[in-house]
Amino acid sequence: MAVKGGLLMKKTENQRILVLVILFAVLTLYLSGCRGAVTNQAAPGVKDYQSYEGSGSANQTQSGARPAQQEPVVPDGLPLSIQPAPNVELDLQPFDGGFFSMNLPSGWVLEPVGEYENFGFRAYDPNNPARQIFFYGNMKYFLKSNAGKDAWATYLAYGGYGDAQVFADALVLAPATTEQFFYTFNDYTAYAAKYGVVHNFPIFDDLEIMESTPRNSPIAANCVDNSIVRTLFTQDDVPCEGLFAAGVADAMASYMYNVDAGYYVVYFITGISAPCDEFYLLQDALSESLSSFQYTESYIQQGVQRIDEGTQLALEIGKMLSQTADTYNQAWHNRQRPIDTLSQKRSDARLGYDRLYDTETGEIYRAELGFYDEYDLHRNKYVNPNLQLIPDDGYDLYHRAIGGYIHK
C-alpha cells in the first residue's frame, strides 16, 4: 500500500507539473504574438485606432469581415476645379534692324515697311500673334468730309488728272479724332494695299474704345487730336486688349466746288496689345520694348538731307519713341476707375468668364459663364462656399491680379 500510495502521489505531482508546463507554453505563445499582432499608431490628424490581424485573439472580428478602421478626416463638400493663372513673361533681347535697333521679345518676328517718314513695323509672337507692338511714321490720305470725297469724284468725272484717284478713294475721317482713325484702321489697310503698300498690318475686329487720354508728344502742337486710346478688339478670334496712340494733323486745305477737299495725315501711330487675360501682365514689357526703338544717327542724317520737312519731323518722332513707355504707363495708371471696371467686365464677357472673389481670402478668380449660377444655388455643398460676384463698384477688387480660373 505504501508503494501504491507513493506511486499515486508521484503521478499527481507529474500531472501538476504537466499542467504547469502547458499553461506556461500557452502564456508564452499569447505574449509573443505568434499568430497575431496589435498595432497602435496615430496618423497625423487622425485619432488612435487598433487593427487586428490573424486569428487567436478574443477581440478578432467576425470571419469574412474587414477590420473597422477610422478614415482620415477630410473637409466635406464638392471640390472646385481651379486652374492657377498662368505666369506670362517676355524676355527682351537686343535686335539689330540695320538702320534701327531695339529690344524685342525673344522669338518674335518683326516685319518692316517703307522708309524714312513712311517707315513702320509690326512685331509679334508667331505662336500668339495677338501679342504685338507696332509703329508707323504716318498714314495718309484721309479726307475731311463726304462732300470733299464727292468733289474729287466730280473732278475725275470731268476729266481731272488720273492720279487724283488716290484722293477720290481715300477714307473720310470724320470726326478727325484718334478714336475715329482706329475705327477706320481695317479699311485703311485695304486702301493702302490698293496703292502698293504690301504689309501685314494688325487687324482690329469688333473694336471698342473704352477710354481716350491726351498724349504728350512732339507732334501735339501740330495736331487736331493726339490721343492714347484704350481698346478691346478681336484678332483671329482671340479677345484682345490694347493701348494705341496717333496724332491727326490737318495737312492740306484745298477748295474745290466750294468744298474743302483737302486731307488729314495721321502721324506717330503706335500700339501694344495682348490677349485680354494677359495684357495686365505684359503691358510694362510691351511698352518697354516699343520705347527702346531708335534710328541710327547716319540714317537720320540721310533723311534730313532730303530737305523734306515731313521727313525730318517723322525721323525726329522716331527718336522720341523712348517716351512711349512713359506716356502709355501714365495713361494706364490714370485710367478712370469706373471705366476701368467696365472695360474689365467687357473683357471678361468676351473671354466667357464671370469675375469672382473669395470673401474670406480676397483671392480673385475668373469663372466660366454658367458656373456661378449653379454654384450660388448649391454653395453649401461646396468645399468653399465663400465665392461671390465682384460688384460693379468693386474697383479695388478689379485691380487685383487673377489668382486662378474656375471651370465647370
Q: What is the pLDDT of residue 183?
A: 98
Say whether pLDDT at 311 is over 70. Answer: no
Q: Once rounded to an integer, what is the mean pLDDT over residues 233-249? A: 94
Residue 138 DSSP SS3: strand
Domain ranges of the chain: 1-34, 37-74, 92-342, 352-407
HSE-up of 392 (CA within 13 Å, CB side)? 3
**pLDDT > 60? residue 399:** yes
Residues forming beta bridges with residue 256, ordered by sequence position: 259
Q: What does the angle CA 234 – CA 240 – CA 241 come to, to the nearest 5 degrees?
A: 130
CB atoms inside a 10 Å sphere around CB 76? 8
Q: What is the pTM of this model?
A: 0.72
Q: Give Cα separations from 99 to 23, 126, 274, 315, 330 (angstroms).
A: 105, 24, 27, 12, 30
Buried b (16+ CB within 10 A) or exposed e, 100-136: bebbbbeebeeebbeebbbbbbbbbbeeebbbbbbbb
Q: Which residues of 215-245 are buried (b: 16+ CB within 10 A; e: fewer)?
A: bebbbeeebebbbbbbbbbbbeebbbbbbbb
Over residues 171-203, the pLDDT tens digits come to 999 999 999 999 999 999 999 999 999 999 999
DSSP string, 11-34: HHHHHHHHHHHHHHHHHHHHHHTS
Q: Are strands 255-256 and 259-260 parallel, antiparallel or unpaired?
A: antiparallel
Q: Is the pLDDT of residue 365 over 60?
A: yes
What per-residue confidence (pLDDT) applies to 310? 55
> What are residue 198's phi and psi, to 5 degrees?
-100, 110
- In the chain, pLDDT over 70 holds for what percent of residues? 73
378 Cβ contact list (under 8 Å, min separation 6): none
Q: Which residue has the higher pLDDT, 11 or 230?
A: 230
Instruction: Find the mean pLDDT for residues 23-32.
Output: 39
Q: What is the DSSP string of 269-314?
A: EEEEEEETTTHHHHHHHHHHHHHT-EE-HHHHHHHHTT--HHHHHH
pLDDT band at 56 (very low <50, low <70, confident <90, very high): very low
Helix (H, G, I), strand (E, B) or coil at 74: coil
Q: Decide if pLDDT at 276 tops 50.
A: yes
CA–CA separation, 394 and 400 (whole Å)? 11
Q: Please tell me the predicted confidence (pLDDT) of residue 28.
A: 41
Stretch (H or E) spanning 337: helix 337-351
So what's the pLDDT on residue 65? 40
In the chain, the amino acid numbered 78 is: L
Structure-block grid coordinates of residue 100: 534701327
